[in-house]
Amino acid sequence: SDYQQLGYNLRINLFQGGPLKSRSLMRDSYTPDVFQKAVIDPRHWHGRTISELGRWYEKYFLDLNVQKAMKEKYG
């Protein structure tokens, strides 16, 4: 029966789970010297400079404050 077949599969450990060591396509694509030569610039973060990010947060919090004030005034 199906139940016995499932028990057999569990006993012989066919379902062994995932690999113990994870792999990354990025790590596999480049040699280790690429990562050693990489310079992390805190002022250039994923294509955005901190000033752009700061302006975005400023607009975001201004919008939150406006929404809060509108809610308090009009309910």
Tokens of 47: 């294509």
> Digits of tens for pLDDT over the chain (75 positions)?
677 777 776 666 655 666 677 777 777 787 778 777 777 777 766 666 667 778 888 899 999 999 999 999 998
DSSP for 2-18 reads HHHHHHHHHHTT----S
Q: Which domain range does residue 39 map to? A: 2-74
Question: What's the rounded Cα separation, in Å, for the pair 27 and 34?
Answer: 10
**Measured between alpha carbons, how far is 23 from 31 in angstroms, rounded to an integer?**
14
How far is CA 31 from its chain centroid? Answer: 23
CA distance 75 to 68: 10
Residue 62 is predicted with a pLDDT of 93
Q: What is the per-residue pLDDT for 9?
A: 64
Q: pTM higher than 0.85, yes or no? A: no
Number of structural domains found in the chain: 1
